[in-house]
Amino acid sequence: MVVALIIACEVGFWVLLALGLGARYLLKWRRTSVFLLLCEPVLELVLFAVTAWDLKNGAEPGWEHGLAALYIGYTVAYGHYTIRWLDGHAAHRLAGGPPPVKPPRYGMPRARHEGRLWLRTLLGAAVACALLQGAVWYVGDEGDVSSLRSFQWTALRVVGIHGLIALTYLIWPKRGPAGMSVTEAGEGAPEGARGTARSATTRR
């Protein structure tokens, strides 16, 4: 049941996002768009509640509960990023807005961009580990929590691997073509685009 709900939440996320952006830029229904985008966090709350209810009813902690925690953590960390990124593209393609600024490609601007992405991954892992630790405490000594512990280590490994990748951009910054200015290399480019739908809608 939990796995099916994770899939349903992911599908629901993209459906609500498509409906929200369509309502904003095609139908010009700004309030409807805000309402649809604000429904996004509800999906994660439902997943959290169902997972907790499943454990409360005596379900043996398994990989599906760990996966649910990782999914919620990822959505918290990258939800706003994805919404903002797609919103910029929708505004450009559907409403004649300016082309969205691309992430920096070279030098320290690229290193800073990768560092900000790593901080998002760190946030997602922290949320996932906190949820998993709460589940461990809830289950207590009477249940087998090895799978929950395993997913905590998975989250930490993801942070470590992503951190090493981001660090390579700092230690060995990619050089741009000769003669390219700092601005052309991407200095000051915005971070891009999936935290909360509320943040995505308040900027408009």
Q: What integer is the mean pLDDT of 56-76?
A: 91
Per-residue model confidence (pLDDT) at position 61: 86
Enumerate the domain spans of the chain: 2-202
Predicted confidence (pLDDT) per residue in 154-164, tens digit: 999 999 999 99
Report helix angle 40-56 to 63-95, nearest 10.
170
Predicted confidence (pLDDT) per residue in 187-199, tens digit: 444 443 333 333 3
What is the C-alpha to C-alpha distance for residues 187 and 92, in angstroms, rounded to an integer? 22
Per-residue model confidence (pLDDT) at position 188: 45
Per-residue model confidence (pLDDT) at position 195: 36
Q: What region, left, alpha or beta, does residue 71 occupy, with left being phi > 0 and alpha being psi -120 to 50 degrees?
A: alpha
